[in-house]
Structure 1
């Protein structure tokens, strides 16, 4: 089995203190591997990086058009958001339009990562609701499709018509039969595939013609980067840095994907250690390598060749990509 390749180095002064390794694949529109690091055949769980695939049935079923979903709602259906007002206000309005309430979600309550929202709940002596869950946009999309299908309320069950549609979409775009699933943080099944399969799926999205379900989803993500994640987050900041030309999506445990429509390329990567900083550095390095991200943009420099400072603000080291990744 091919070993994980060095991804990210952590230097303290002149000493190489730590090395994060992982696996990465770049695919073209035909699904062929353009370049790979580590093991392209590694079976992975893409976690939230697969949200745009889970959103495909929302469009292919006709539900998105039947309910006249906006590009903002399509972006939220692919989001892992901060739980800021910009996110929860929109998801709340979406729920009301459907005639649903917070109790109809099956994602579970989550403390919002957004500082203002978090402190607002504390000041109001309130506890987080399911709408604050980072996946509530995806679940609003799930509820929309559930209503459209006239299916039962337990939409996260693997045998529910919605999840069967998600599995069909997943296997179609990855061009693989999934070996199984794990239950995600939001309680929905998260289907496994190879890293090559995930990169192939992202290249499929990148090459999809205008007007297709795939194109509508990645266009919505690129149009509304602030809804896909939130302020200070890598997905939002790096999409802005590339002027919305590339769609990015992170996933738990060090996963990241990129959809490059102009180049018709797809990227999927997994930090073997599951570390966010390793995955963010690696995806930034590959985007710089492909010429779509400015190496000197402030959003890039937060993650690529990023200075490490101690509590007194003294620069003690640097976080940078491994040479082999460049």
Structure 2
């Protein structure tokens, strides 16, 4: 089944883009109120889950300031200040880098990659763009 067009973006009277998808609305009692497409289809939401994971971290009692909350709710490019922020988040939860379950990665910026390599570093979980 091809998912239906859920959104059309119009500019200057012309449809610029169409976005297909699946959606489901659930009432407080658990009943389905509206559905479109195939919401039961298996997907890999990847980074789209990060804001929800950040909310769960907050609700579990982790104290994050604005910068650390932004790091937890999104991807990053593996620069030193991202690694430092990730270390702070982990420390606040009583965890260390070895507790991360993401794969090792290089910084995204080629110049930063070269600098990391120049000083003897390599790919690490802390530099992986999902480590926050």
> Structure 2-normalised TM-score?
0.64
Structure 2 unaligned residues grouped into runs of 5+:
6-17, 28-32
Secondary structure at the aligned position of 1:131 is classed as: coil
Secondary structure at the aligned position of 1:59 is classed as: helix
| Aligned with 2:66 (options 37, 48, 71) | 71
Aligned to 2:37: 40
Task: Tell me which of the two structures has the higher relative contact order, counting C-alpha pairs closer than 8 angstroms and 6 or more residues apart.
Answer: 1
| Aligned with 2:82 (options 66, 81, 87) | 87
Aligned to 2:14: none
Once the two structures are TM-superposed, the CA of residue 104 in structure 1 deviates from its matched residue by 2.3
Q: Quick check: 1:107 aligned with 2:102?
A: yes
Aligned to 1:55: 54
Structure 1 unaligned residues grouped into runs of 5+:
6-20, 34-38, 138-326
Alpha-carbon distance in structure 2 between the residues aligned to 1:112 and 1:102: 16
Query: For the Cα contact (< 8 Å) 2:102–2:125, is it kept in 1?
Result: yes
| Aligned with 2:20 (options 23, 37, 41) | 23
Structure richer in helix, relative to its length: 1
Structure 1 residues 3 and 56 mapped into 2: Cα distance closer, same or farther (>3 Å)? closer
Aligned to 2:8: none
Query: For the Cα contact (< 8 Å) 1:102–1:129, is it kept in 2?
Result: no
Query: For the Cα contact (< 8 Å) 1:84–1:116, is it kept in 2?
Result: no
- Report the number of matched residues: 114
Once the two structures are TM-superposed, the CA of residue 114 in structure 1 deviates from its matched residue by 2.5
Residue by residue, what CA displacement relative to the aligned partner does 1:33-55 show, whole Å, maximum 9, x if unpaired?
A: 7xxxxx63252332211111223
